């Protein structure tokens, strides 16, 4: 047995040397950080947040630490990090999507369905409804505060599921009740918006019916979704033209 010890020792030394060589080998050094799932966040921003320099040995990278750094980006909701041997790091993200823009005296804020502030200074473009009547100041990665603002976000979340509703603005009234304004200016009374899913479902069906029938309304009230009200808009007919004196003949 003793005669095999030198050979075993030599084999162990060679194994350690091979492992060290592989550890340091450029063959296993990161040449590419590949990002998938991005729409709003640029892949360059994700790669920068990951903090993995080109040439870093793939062995040394902690996927958990990389994911934690990328998750700090405000628009990133979920991160998966995979090592693709021999030299590529794959980062797959799922983004948070804004459902509305909160307009306050302190600025504009993009907000997601959970009420999380995604970014500040979001331009009023696209199809997102705006939430008005909120006076709070927010920070990125914070959340909306106040009963009215929270309910407005819930309404915006449901509106994202009902593209048939041409929503323009969700206004928070002083008593924290809500009024939804459609693109043509029609106000929709939501009350406390305690059932936003049912209210938007009822509103969507009612609005499509009104459009098919070509009916205009002064307002819609779905504060109680079991008893929706749509007040028709009555056109006042113009006064009749006075008769032409020349056509009036005496008796």
Per-residue model confidence as pLDDT tens digits over 96-125: 999 999 999 999 999 999 999 998 886 655
Q: What is the mean pLDDT of residues 144-160?
A: 96
The SS3 assignment for 107 reads strand
For residue 179, is pLDDT > 70? yes
**Cβ-Cβ contacts under 8 Å for 203 (sequence gap 6 or more):** 162, 165, 180, 188, 220, 222, 228
For residue 23, the model assigns a pLDDT of 57
**What local confidence, expressed as pLDDT, does residue 2 receive?**
56
Residue 250 predicted with pLDDT over 50: yes
What pLDDT was estimated at residue 251?
47
Percentages of the chain per state (helix, strand, coil), in multiples of 5:
30, 30, 40
Domains, in order of start, for the chain:
2-95 (3.10.20.310), 98-232 (3.40.50.10960)
Mean of per-residue pLDDT scores for the chain: 88
User: What's the rounded Cα separation, in Å, for the pair 49 and 11?
Assistant: 42
How confident is the model at residue 28, as a pLDDT? 78
Residue 79, pLDDT above cutoff 50:
yes
């Amino acid at each position: 047995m003793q005669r095999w010890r030198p050979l075993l020792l030599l084999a162990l030394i060679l194994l350690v040397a091979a492992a060290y060589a592989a550890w340091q080998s450029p063959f296993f050094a990161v040449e590419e950080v590949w990002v998938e799932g991005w729409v709003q966040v640029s892949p360059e921003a994700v790669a920068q947040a990951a903090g993995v320099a080109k040439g870093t040995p793939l062995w040394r990278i902690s996927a958990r630490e990389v994911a934690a750094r990328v998750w700090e980006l405000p628009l990133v909701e979920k991160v998966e990090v995979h090592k693709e041997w021999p030299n590529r790091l794959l980062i797959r993200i799922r983004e948070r999507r804004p459902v509305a823009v909160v307009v306050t005296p302190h600025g504009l804020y993009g907000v997601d369905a959970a009420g999380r502030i995604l970014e500040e200074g979001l331009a009023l473009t696209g199809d997102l409804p705006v939430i008005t009547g909120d006076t709070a100041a927010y920070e990125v990665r914070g959340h909306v505060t106040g009963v009215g603002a929270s309910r407005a976000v819930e309404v915006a979340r449901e509106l994202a599921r009902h593209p048939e509703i041409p929503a323009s603005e969700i206004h928070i009234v002083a008593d924290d009740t809500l009024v939804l304004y459609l693109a043509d200016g029609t106000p929709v009374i939501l009350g406390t918006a305690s059932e936003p899913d049912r209210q938007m479902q009822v509103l969507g069906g009612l609005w499509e019916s009104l459009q098919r029938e070509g009916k205009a309304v002064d307002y819609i009230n779905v504060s109680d979704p079991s008893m929706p009200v749509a007040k028709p808009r009555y056109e006042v007919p113009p006064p009749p033209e006075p008769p032409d004196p020349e056509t009036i003949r005496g008796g």
